[in-house]
Structure 1
Amino acid sequence: MFLLLWEWFRIYFQSGVVKLESGDPTWRNLTALYEYYQNGPLPTWIGWYLQHLPHWFHIASAAATLVMELILVWMAFLPGHWKTACFFIVTMWQVVVIATANYAFLNYLVLILAILLLDDAFLRRFLPLRWRDSLDEEAHRTGNAKLGKPPAPDMKANPLTPVTGVDSLTTIRSGLLAAVFTWIFYATVVPFAQMFWRGVPLPAKPVVWLEPFRIANQYGLFAVMTPHRYEIEFQGSNDGQHSEAYPFRYKPQDVRERPRIYAPYQPRFDWNLWFASLGSWQQNAIVPRTEELLLVNDRAMLRLFSGNPFPDAPPRLVRAVLWQYWFSSLEEKRSQDVWWRRQFLGIYAPTLTELPDGSFAIVDDAIVSSPFQP
């Protein structure tokens, strides 16, 4: 139970620490949330409205985030009502995060872990009456055991059966669990301590040995804010002059389509394309591989899109282009009914075509450089 609470604490506290350690000036001058709602991996329509609130709101939100992650989460280790108050503060904060951005299942996992902040006395009042009676009986038996009182005799038991005490296998199991849990705790404490003291004199080998199992990790969410929103779009063409875009299921594309809420589901394809847009296609093999699969109308690949503009036969050419997106202004939303505005930036990945032998080749982008106009 302590390890789970420790995990909850680290997710918040270490996220607050890295925000300041990263050197990102937007966290230090509290402007980190000015464009946060539009630049995350998969925004929501609620985020659109929050983006248009005054700057004082975003400054106050950034300050409150740091205060909560660096200070208020320590209430988790205080007794009684402090923990309960901490639960309601962080839960309300998480609900707002979930409503304004699709971060898949991460927020829900943290939300569930927060239940550890509530003690039994608080939770008991929300249980059905029959469950409360069962719990009271169990608590009574447990209390007697702790006081050394023997349990009530079982009249059906064989009086000749000796009482052997605690089973030796149970003792071994408890010892092994204690050793493993201590090891995991140590593997989380060392990286935690290194955030404040780089050369902390603690043995690193136990951490290294546990690393292949991916059980214990450092946490640091939103250390550096993404200043711009780029979107990759796949386009197919048969003549090199006119192209059709493959419509995505989840990520922004059509400027008139309202951003949706679909977390805790994680659309990994759309999610990874957001990360790919921040780098080059050479660093993200998912992009050229998608182009290749679209050139053969691969069914599994096409299911990741909401439609196929080339249902009869695959296109002769496929390319990936890059757009920059911004939330539309209040006036643009009223007059044009658009949620986004975007600007074409150019070719992201080389245009590919399929050769007669089934291999793929790069086509000179100079002859197919015009963007698709929706």
Structure 2
Amino acid sequence: MDWAVDPGAWAGRLVFTRGLALVYLLAFVAALRQAPALIGAHGLTPVPRFLRATSWRTAPSLFRLRFSDRLLGAVCWTGIVLSAAALVGVADRLPIAGWMALWAVLWALYLSLVNVGQIWYGFGWESLLVEAGFLAVFLGPAHVGPPLLGLWLVRWLLFRLEFGAGLIKMRGDRCWRDLTCLAYHHETQPMPNPLSWWFHRLSPRLHRVETLANHVTQLVVVWGLLLPQPICGIAAAVMVVTQGYLLISGNFAWLNALALVLGLALLDGRWLAAVLPVERPAELSSPTWFSVLGLVVAAGVAVLSIGPVRNMLSPRQQMNTSFDPFRLVNSYGAFGSVTKVRRELLVEATDSLGPDAEWREYEFRGKPGDVHRRPPQWAPYHLRLDWLMWFVALSPAYGRAWLVPFLRTLLEADPATLRLLRSAPFGAARPAAVRVLLYRYRFTTRAERRATGAFWHRTYERELVGPLTSDDVAQRVR
């Protein structure tokens, strides 16, 4: 079945699978460090409670067989070991069945985390990683001819990711249509990075150019992905550049990194072969059964694509939606609306109550707090608590299920929770009370930056929660 193989795509497959393995590795490391405090048996939104309220049919997960924090750690460590093995090339030396087993286990483990992760795993890049991981199962190791249909499914994934994001913008906030959204976005995005201050300070004309370039890429150039090489490669190269631009201007977990990997995988194989420090395998086998399996998978994806395509074409398009419980084919999109004003939650604690109480801040790892601290670079690593704090600042409803339990763990000086933070005002000691304040933040002007050294200016707005003691929290949790 020579028609089912694209020998020239061996380099693209290599880039895709190694890049995917790296993202998997980061995702499992993040889960190992954060999941016990967020979704563990005693976490902010415990998995056992979630499992009792849902079913296999709506949220399939290996954790339905059994859940414990020890098993959660074992799943994360297994994912780390297998993704590291794939990253260094062990998977490429396996027979086809071994390759498929390794990638299938990675997919099943991460799907199991996502499907019990609740609000903490509700981001589009989680489904993107699951979907990309599923496709990797059927691409085959280095000594197998790259399956033509499998690589077309990679094209289809990148097309839906980019086109869905473009459509949601044009249907959403008016500022996308009048080309002014990026005059706000660099400042108000969930987690700015070290260069965001400078991007925000670009001229209004350059912000319009940024926005227009985004539309051209996601709504026009994206169609080139469905055309033969080298046109597909040129379109993919444009997306690699734009995703790289997004990568250096914000912290969007592994969304841009994985999109960039997808784009690199679709470059013309001759271009990749010219720069990769590896040689093309001397022989590429092509078992008939593997080609037939690829045909079956492609047909299945085509059927499952009906829902996402209808969603993209609908005037009521939904962002980041899964249409099947295994997240095999999803809809994507981000920032259909752009926040014009940035608000931040500051969590404070005191070691004594009374009129002379001294309140001191908890510092988070990624989100803005100290106005003199340069916004840090965390992507492609994902700080889930920091991201959710941004959403709560938009609307307290986002924290209804977990904000008070979070404050309780701070009052208990819970070690797992404190490890999610950059610093606690009283270290491992328990505070007497905590509270949550709402501030308005904005980037400093160039003059303010020179005069004060601060990256942010903040203005107090109101008290959102508190002060709360351990007794107060116990009553509210009940």
Measured against the shorter chain, the TM-score band is 0.7 to 0.9
Q: 1:194 to 1:316 in 2, by over 3 A?
A: closer
| TM-score, reference length from structure 1 | 0.78
1:257 aligns with 2:370: no
Number of equivalent positions: 319
Match of 2:334 among 215, 218, 221: 221
Amino acid at match of 1:252: P
Per the alignment, in what secondary structure is the counterpart of residue 62 of structure 1?
Answer: helix
What CA distance in whole angstroms lies between the structure 2 residues aligned with 1:78 and 1:334?
Answer: 50
1:83 Cα offset (Å):
2.5
The question of whether the paired residues in 1 share the 8 Å contact of 2:343 and 2:441 is answered with: yes
Match of 1:230 among 343, 358, 383: 343
1:176 Cα offset (Å):
5.2
Unpaired segments ≥5 residues, structure 2: 1-150
1:62 aligns with 2:211: yes
1:43 Cα offset (Å):
0.3
1:185 aligns with 2:335: no
Residue 88 of structure 1 aligns with which residue? 237
What CA distance in whole angstroms lies between the structure 2 residues aligned with 1:113 and 1:11?
Answer: 10
The question of whether the paired residues in 2 share the 8 Å contact of 1:11 and 1:220 is answered with: yes
Residue 252 of structure 2 aligns with which residue? 103
Amino acid at match of 2:448: E
What CA distance in whole angstroms lies between the structure 2 residues aligned with 1:82 and 1:279?
Answer: 44
1:326 Cα offset (Å):
0.4
Match of 1:212 among 318, 325, 329: 325
Unpaired segments ≥5 residues, structure 1: 143-165, 200-206, 363-374
The question of whether the paired residues in 2 share the 8 Å contact of 1:287 and 1:349 is answered with: no
1:286-307 Cα offsets, whole Å, 9 max, x none, are: 2211111111111111112222
Per the alignment, in what secondary structure is the counterpart of residue 195 of structure 2?
Answer: helix
Once superposed, what is the RMSD of the aligned Cα atoms?
2.5
Residue 21 of structure 1 aligns with which residue? 171
What CA distance in whole angstroms lies between the structure 1 residues aligned with 2:361 and 2:399?
Answer: 23
Q: Which has the higher helix share?
A: 2
What CA distance in whole angstroms lies between the structure 2 residues aligned with 1:293 and 1:3?
Answer: 44
Match of 2:457 among 341, 345, 366: 341
Match of 2:353 among 231, 239, 247: 239
Q: 1:284 to 1:122 in 2, by over 3 A?
A: same
Matches within 5 A, 1:1-374: 1-22=151-172, 24-128=173-277, 131-132=279-280, 135=281, 137-138=282-283, 171=289, 175=292, 177-196=294-313, 211-237=324-350, 238-240=352-354, 241-280=357-396, 283-311=399-427, 313-355=429-471, 360-361=474-475
What CA distance in whole angstroms lies between the structure 2 residues aligned with 1:359 and 1:27?
Answer: 42
Amino acid at match of 1:298: D
The question of whether the paired residues in 2 share the 8 Å contact of 1:328 and 1:338 is answered with: yes
1:292-350 Cα offsets, whole Å, 9 max, x none, are: 11111111111122222223641221111111110010000001110000111111223
Q: 1:128 to 1:264 in 2, by over 3 A?
A: closer
Residue 149 of structure 1 aligns with which residue? none
1:124 Cα offset (Å):
2.2
Q: 1:122 to 1:348 in 2, by over 3 A?
A: same
The question of whether the paired residues in 2 share the 8 Å contact of 1:102 and 1:264 is answered with: yes
What CA distance in whole angstroms lies between the structure 1 residues aligned with 2:388 and 2:428?
Answer: 28
Identity of aligned residues (%): 31
The question of whether the paired residues in 1 share the 8 Å contact of 2:363 and 2:423 is answered with: yes
Q: 1:315 to 1:71 in 2, by over 3 A?
A: same
1:256 Cα offset (Å):
0.4
Q: 1:47 to 1:282 in 2, by over 3 A?
A: closer
1:158-181 Cα offsets, whole Å, 9 max, x none, are: xxxxxxxx8xxx64x655553343
Larger radius of gyration: 1
The question of whether the paired residues in 1 share the 8 Å contact of 2:345 and 2:390 is answered with: yes
1:81-111 Cα offsets, whole Å, 9 max, x none, are: 3223223322121111111100011111111
What CA distance in whole angstroms lies between the structure 1 residues aligned with 2:209 and 2:242?
Answer: 13
| TM-score, reference length from structure 2 | 0.62
What CA distance in whole angstroms lies between the structure 1 residues aligned with 2:426 and 2:475?
Answer: 20
The question of whether the paired residues in 2 share the 8 Å contact of 1:235 and 1:320 is answered with: yes
The question of whether the paired residues in 1 share the 8 Å contact of 2:346 and 2:362 is answered with: yes
1:70 Cα offset (Å):
0.1
Q: 1:121 to 1:273 in 2, by over 3 A?
A: same
